[in-house]
Structure 1
Amino acid sequence: MGTIGNAPAVERRAVRVRASGTSDFTELAARIQGAGLMRRRYGYYWTKLLLVPVVLTAAIAVFVRIGDSWWQLLMAAAFAVIFTQIAFLGHDAAHRQIFVSGRWNDWTSLIIGDLFVGMSYGWWRHKHTRHHANPNKMGADPDIELPVITVTAEQAARHRLPVMRWLISHQGAFFFPILLLEGISLHVTGIARVLHRDPVDRRWFEIFFLVVRIGGFIALVFAVLSPGIAAVFLAVQLGLFGLYMGASFAPNHKGMPVVPATLKLDFLRRQVLMSRNVRGGRFIDTALGGLNYQIEHHLFPSMPRPHLRHAAPIVRAYCRRLGIPYTETGLLASYGIVVRYINRVGLGERDPFDCPLVAQRRAS
């Protein structure tokens, strides 16, 4: 399957390259393997998998017990956090972090994503596979081809209407408000994907799970709450879910070098130079679902989440020895970098965070 599906395939290709002695990934991979950081963490993940239905059942019970009250807006925020944390678990399964069996991982991610979160696993896997293969590469990474945010000067130049140019030039100010719509976008895009004529693995399972999750949740909300409160509840829940999801993924690559499609980099540099880690300790590790170790995750996608924090010092020291920039910052600082970056792009400034390797190759 893909790198969510294909992440292991990417690693296998990297292993073949380093076996010939031509890749700087060789020694690093050996150190990581020797430290036992690729071994499975069944206890950790089975605990989380068993907690998913328990926590959701408890949250629904509290929701029903509170009844028709504006206090339910607190529950809307709670559901947003719960669904995002469950989505992180689906992300781990999709990257083959939980089980040896690809089939078990696929079904786990499909059930978590479609039935518990309301996102199409098939759609997300296809998109995320392409991102992992070529992060921040123009024409190859779908995560830099966004409908409402421009991340390159070339994208900004495509817009001719004055109102669009004004919006883009101020897009930094709109970035977090726009994330409030991300929850709706994730649901709608996934539904559109499974209903499209393009081939979709397990299409009818996805359709069934999405109908049960999205339709069932809406029905529950309107059964318990009066129409006005129900509408506000869903708006708050979807808005905070989108904000949490977007704010968790935004620090990873936004504001890092965006490189042309023609640039060729080895696997190690392609993943390290385009990714950013976020410091912050165990709380940030939990809040961001391990995505704060983005460099290590991109180098070793199938590494179990609990091991990422132990791999980081090894990768950091190795990159320092090779002179490869290893980027890490605090969470709030990362948001500041993202906002400043997209503002500068929106104002038409070219290559605001140009990659040193790109500059060197242009000069030569």
Structure 2
Amino acid sequence: MCKKEEHSMSSPVSTTTASNTDTTYTWEEVRKHTEVDDKWLVVDGNVYDITKWAKRHPGGNKVISHYSGQDATDAFGAFHRDRQFVNKFLKLYRIGRVDDDDNRSSELAHDFDNVRELTKTMDLYKPNFWFYAFQLGHIIALEVLAYATVRYFGANIFSFLLAGLFMGTSQTQGAWLNHDFGHLSVFKSTKLNYIVQEFVFAGIQGAPASWWKYRHYQHHAKPNVINKDPDIKMEIFFLVGDTVPKEVAKAKTGFMPYQHQHKYFPFLLPIFLIPVYYTFEFFRYVIKRREWVELTLMIAFFVRLFYLFAPFLGFVGALLLFMLARTIQSTWFVWVSQANHIPMAVEHDEADQHWVQLQMNATCNLESSTLIDWFTGHLNYQVEHHLFPTMPRHNLHKIRPYVQSMCEKHNIPYIRKPFWTAMADILRSLKKSGNKWYELYNMLDPAGDH
């Protein structure tokens, strides 16, 4: 799953151990190769030894390694728009074929392939550049409004709160736009998408695009899969799904009163996630990975912040304005992003699970309107986005009827909720998960003090 189609392999690894052969392997044999120093996967019935390639994979070592010993055909197709280009490099690691490729012969696989072809026939990967020009334009306009507010109204509580609202809205909408470039939805050139993503995410938001790719590609590859999706690894504060609460209770590794997590979620996660944890993680990541260009852009963001706002609010006031904007963004982001996933199934990986079933089990949609589409950055079409992640978000609604029809045919639940129902379901699912942990924890340890 080479995410970066234009990646140059100026010094490809030796193919003495991974060459094009007619050797056939059983799935039983393929599934044995899941170790750090021994990784195989299957694409279109071909077996590839990706042991050496995984370390060089532009999308990250983990995202491709999550499919070790498995069929990665649909994930490969979802992440790569130009499959022929990527196949030029992938073929270097081909070692044979599987002799019982039942996964690709199922009716669901056939129907999904038809829907995928339909997206191409309907030209749904073609972006509307006016749409994206508006997105970028209104993000910058909101930043200008934040500055104009404190400049012309002075340093008072009204201007401070209004500027924070403008800046927080800009930051949130910038996150949605970063999401578009990160999924290669805007330009044909992978490199150009990534360059503009760095400008939007690092330059306008003070956050590293490389960190986003590292986490988000894993999420898309294995959504809501325990130990593979980093977005559900929240045991320090929250337990999600049915399985994680049981495992934490048995291991006795948690320290929070999880039976109350639905009560403290609205206050703790939104305030803590982006303003505190992510801000620390941003700098730790770029310094550890030596992403000096992004670090420079991030520093430039903070220089610009204090240069513009400190003369009116003072250094501390400018810092508090930034924290207010981050808190607004964090609250907004948490409720929107978690509405699509937390109430859904959270389980361990199932090697034989088809791409459609994997994505449908972990995602749901929110009902649509012009306001909700804008508010959620079109992530209310989460199902379609997960099935076709490189599709421009303004086209997702066009393929929705066909996806829903496919799901109905195969008795796969297609969940679409009203906005406020989805918000409430976050709390309901957290309460359910917390109670599961509490009941098992106290059954195993009646003297427990949680």
Change (3 A) 1:10 1:254: farther
Aligned to 1:265: 353
Aligned to 2:239: 150
Answer yes or no: is the 8 Å Cα contact 2:165–2:328 preserved in 1: yes
Determine helix, strand or coil for the equivalent of 2:231.
Answer: helix
Aligned to 2:54: none
- Per mean C-alpha deviation after superposition, the further-off stretch among 15-24 and 109-118 is 15-24
> RMSD of aligned C-alpha atoms?
2.9
Matched length:
344
2:293 to 205, 214, 226: 205
Change (3 A) 1:108 1:19: farther
Answer yes or no: is the 8 Å Cα contact 1:8–1:302 preserved in 2: no
2:285 to 175, 183, 193: 193
Change (3 A) 1:101 1:159: same
Runs (5+) with no aligned partner, structure 2: 5-57, 64-73, 85-100, 439-450
| CA distance, structure 1, for counterparts of residue 256 and residue 187 of structure 2 | 48
Answer yes or no: is the 8 Å Cα contact 1:79–1:237 preserved in 2: yes
Answer yes or no: is the 8 Å Cα contact 2:215–2:230 preserved in 1: yes
- Greater relative contact order (CA < 8 Å, ≥ 6 in sequence): 1
Aligned to 1:361: none
Change (3 A) 1:2 1:176: farther
Shift of 1:12: 6.3
Determine helix, strand or coil for the equivalent of 1:38.
Answer: coil
Answer yes or no: is the 8 Å Cα contact 1:18–1:26 preserved in 2: no
| CA distance, structure 1, for counterparts of residue 127 and residue 381 of structure 2 | 18
Answer yes or no: is the 8 Å Cα contact 1:136–1:144 preserved in 2: yes
1:11 aligns with 2:67: no
Determine helix, strand or coil for the equivalent of 1:259.
Answer: coil
Aligned to 2:436: 348
Letter in 2 for 1:188: F
Answer yes or no: is the 8 Å Cα contact 1:135–1:270 preserved in 2: yes
**% identity of equivalent residues:** 22
| CA distance, structure 2, for counterparts of residue 268 and residue 262 of structure 1 | 13
Aligned to 2:8: none
Aligned to 1:37: 124
| CA distance, structure 1, for counterparts of residue 328 and residue 184 of structure 2 | 28
| CA distance, structure 1, for counterparts of residue 140 and residue 131 of structure 2 | 16
Deviations 1:30-54 (A, max 9, x none): 2222223222222322343344434
Aligned to 2:267: 177
Aligned to 2:24: none
Runs (5+) with no aligned partner, structure 1: 351-364
Determine helix, strand or coil for the equivalent of 1:237.
Answer: helix
Deviations 1:234-275 (A, max 9, x none): 442222111011112111111101121245311111112210
| CA distance, structure 2, for counterparts of residue 241 and residue 20 of structure 1 | 42
Change (3 A) 1:227 1:276: same
Letter in 2 for 1:114: A
Aligned to 1:249: 337
Answer yes or no: is the 8 Å Cα contact 1:253–1:274 preserved in 2: yes
Change (3 A) 1:67 1:155: farther
TM-score (norm 1): 0.85
| CA distance, structure 2, for counterparts of residue 273 and residue 19 of structure 1 | 18
Aligned to 1:25: 112
Shift of 1:330: 1.3
Shift of 1:216: 3.0
Superposition pairs of residues 57-136 of structure 1, within 5 angstroms = 57-71=144-158, 72-136=160-224
Answer yes or no: is the 8 Å Cα contact 1:68–1:226 preserved in 2: no
Answer yes or no: is the 8 Å Cα contact 2:223–2:358 preserved in 1: yes
Shift of 1:227: 6.2
Aligned to 1:323: 411
Answer yes or no: is the 8 Å Cα contact 1:296–1:315 preserved in 2: yes
1:216 to 285, 300, 304: 304
Shift of 1:10: 4.1
Deviations 1:5-24 (A, max 9, x none): 58984426898999965524
Aligned to 2:364: 276
Determine helix, strand or coil for the equivalent of 2:295.
Answer: helix
- Per mean C-alpha deviation after superposition, the further-off stretch among 103-112 and 44-53 is 44-53
Question: Which structure carries more helix by proportion?
Answer: 1
